[in-house]
Amino acid sequence: MKILTRNIWILSLVSLFNDVASELLYPVMPIYLKSIGFSIILIGLLEGFAEATAGLSKGYFGTLSDNKGKRLPFIQIGYAFSAISKPMMAIFSNIFWIFSARTLDRLGKGVRTGSRDALLSDESTPETKGRVFGFHRSMDTVGAVLGPLLALVYLTYNPENYKSLFYLTLFPGLVALIFTFLIKEKKKEFVEKKSKPRFLDFLKYWKESPANYRRLVAGLLVFALFNSSDVFLLLRIKEAGCSDTTVIGAYIFYNMIYAAFAFPLGILADKIGMKKIFISGLILFAIVYFGMALVQEKWLFFILFFLYGIYAAATDGIAKAWISNICKKENTATAIGTYTAFQSMTTLLASSFAGLFWFSLGSSLTFIMSAIVAIGVSAYIAMLKNRQENG
């Protein structure tokens, strides 16, 4: 049996090109927003509102995908929204337009996430989901490497020409969208449900879901509540005296390690069990965060970012693969959409709490607190029974 099917390859290429477009803007987004008059508070409100939109819509559109018994239309619409939204941010600079464009981008992510991951699950078996999701995450993260690199090269020759960079994202965005039309969705065995879900109906799934799903996701969400944005890791090495180039270089290095290890760790998860790999990832997270609190030498930060890349490879795709093995096949998009919806909201809270703790207690205690929680969650997950997780 062929493990990496045609659809898996195409979906992975779609994610790669879409991430190139997204990460092209990563180094310049806050700088651009400041240049057009956005304050730090307004930038925070923008990102918070956009992330909340993505989070809530993931649950709704995941449920809608399951109800319709279709994946591909949601994938295509989601990537179309993201492709057109980024150049939109450079057309006008008024607040309403920027908020609308950024929200459209995040809405696109919400529309496609559950359906895309469900299609990946449909293309795999319980014995191969680790490597399938790992391969997809690896290809996606290659885009996260190429995007910032292209941005750095472009800005080297066109300093402060931020608007043109926004327009350039249209090209990889359109390539990603075009690839979605090459996907061939298999006919589903289940029939479309007549009733349309309301926006928050995905919350009902939590009560109806398997007990194993609730136990696993509860642990994942507790961890997410203390797993703040990676921006805080970059702020920490900046605080230690690293240059802007070093900070961006560390971010690119982290994504390179993530991309390199996601597929091999997915293969290993299929062989020895997803739980073991996921717990190992949480332990690495704790080591990294303890290290961030204690070290000062610049070269040690790159070791920590190396370990952090392995942590991401051992947890991100593995969590979704594990969830897709626990839930019923006809509820895959709902199950993943519900989890990612809650994850988006808890991550938003985590970043808010981290900012507050950093301001009140300092960076060291902020990182130590997250590390301790990661150890606690790893112990909790270790006690979960090994049902339907291939290991």
DSSP per-residue string spanning 342-363: HHHHHHHHHHHHHHHHHHHH-H
pLDDT reported for residue 386 = 55
Residue with tokens 């808010």: 352
pLDDT reported for residue 208 = 83
pLDDT reported for residue 270 = 92
pLDDT reported for residue 44 = 66
The model's pLDDT over 240-282, given as tens digits with 9 standing for 90+, comes to: 887 777 877 888 899 999 999 999 999 999 999 999 999 999 9
pLDDT reported for residue 356 = 81
Going from the C-alpha of 217 to that of each of 84, 119, 170, 214, 380, the distances in angstroms are: 33, 20, 36, 5, 12
The model's pLDDT over 302-337, given as tens digits with 9 standing for 90+, comes to: 999 999 999 999 998 899 999 988 888 888 888 888
First and final C-alpha spacing in the chain: 21
Q: How many CB atoms lie within 10 A of CB 343?
A: 21
CA nearest neighbour of 137 among 298, 269, 46: 269
pLDDT reported for residue 389 = 46
* CA–CA separation, 223 and 374 (whole Å): 6
Please state the separation of Cα 145 from the chain's center in Å. 14
pLDDT reported for residue 219 = 94
pLDDT reported for residue 286 = 96
Contact 78, 110 (CB under 8 A): yes
pLDDT reported for residue 83 = 94
* CA–CA separation, 168 and 88 (whole Å): 11
pLDDT reported for residue 1 = 57
CA nearest neighbour of 129 among 315, 265, 335, 325: 325
pLDDT reported for residue 188 = 62
Averages of pLDDT over each 10 residues, the chain, 391 residues: 87 95 82 78 74 82 86 95 93 88 91 92 89 93 91 83 89 96 77 61 80 92 88 82 79 92 93 94 96 88 95 92 88 87 83 80 89 95 68 41
